[in-house]
Amino acid sequence: MLLIENLHAEVDGANGRTAILKGLSLEIAAGEIHAIMGPNGAGKSTLAHVLGGKPGYHVTGGSVTFRGQDLFDLDPHERAATGLFIGFQYPVEIPGVSNVQFLREAANSQRKYRGEEPLSGGEFLKLAKEKAALLKMDMDMLKRQVNVGFSGGEKKRAEMVQMGILDPAFAVLDETDSGLDIDALRIVGAGINAIMRSPDKAVLLITHYQRLLDVVKPDKVSILAGGRIVETGGPELALRLEAEGYDTVMA
């Protein structure tokens, strides 16, 4: 579903561009949940931003093929409508816009791009209630402004509701466990499983810690260090990292 070959990328900074990704290669098949772990500054978030098309990130080499298409031929909104979802480490607040308004516009914009009929108000509310229930959120929370006044856990749960409504084929989740307490972690992890655990979907799960993987249970785990994938294994690789740290495992 996603094939990354020899990807190089730079990011804008105060003193010019800095090379972050330095020949990263990775393949993720349909039906697979693939976790990426690595030390701070390794390039994990940069990878998510490059895949999503965030401004200020520049691809200088390599390729990414998504569902048979060159990902870099698509604008960010086209990538989303084609089935790519990016979950942010720090979801932004959008004052003055309700979650319900935002989510309905997003869903119908993608449906229009794909040539599908828009969801009616009733159809959308039914869908929103169903997905919100998976994350134990009530509709009163979805009527509030996007992430305004939300706790860290509420922001992450709201973002998973968004993922459920948009129903992507592929989700890149950048440290979704950041800022979550134990209960919220279980709810969010169960939501990821309910929404994305499917033979025709896939997930790239970026995390620092084993605790989310105890809930989501990835098929594969890769270590990203120095802008490259340096090792790939099964779930046991994450357990080794948790017990021994990066220096020991990568030695």
Around Cβ 251, how many Cβ atoms within 10 Å?
A: 6
Is there a contact between 142 and 135 (Cβ–Cβ < 8 Å)? Answer: no
Local confidence pLDDT in tens for the 251 residues of the chain: 999 999 999 999 888 899 999 999 999 999 999 999 998 888 999 999 999 999 999 999 999 999 999 999 999 999 999 999 999 888 888 999 999 999 999 999 999 998 999 999 999 999 999 999 999 888 888 889 888 888 888 888 899 999 999 999 999 999 888 778 888 889 999 999 999 999 999 999 999 888 889 999 999 999 999 999 999 999 999 988 888 887 776 65
pLDDT the model gives residue 169: 96
Q: To which CATH superfamily is domain 2-250 assigned? A: P-loop containing nucleotide triphosphate hydrolases (3.40.50.300)
Amino acid at site 9: A
Which parts of the chain fold into alpha helices (H)? 44-52, 76-82, 99-113, 121-134, 139-142, 152-166, 182-196, 210-216, 236-244, 246-250
Q: Which residues contact 157 (CB under 8 A, 6 or more apart)?
A: 135, 136, 137, 184, 187, 188, 191
Cα distances from 46 to residues 12, 166, 173, in angstroms, run: 11, 23, 12
pTM of the model: 0.91
Residues 179, 223: Cα–Cα separation, whole Å: 22
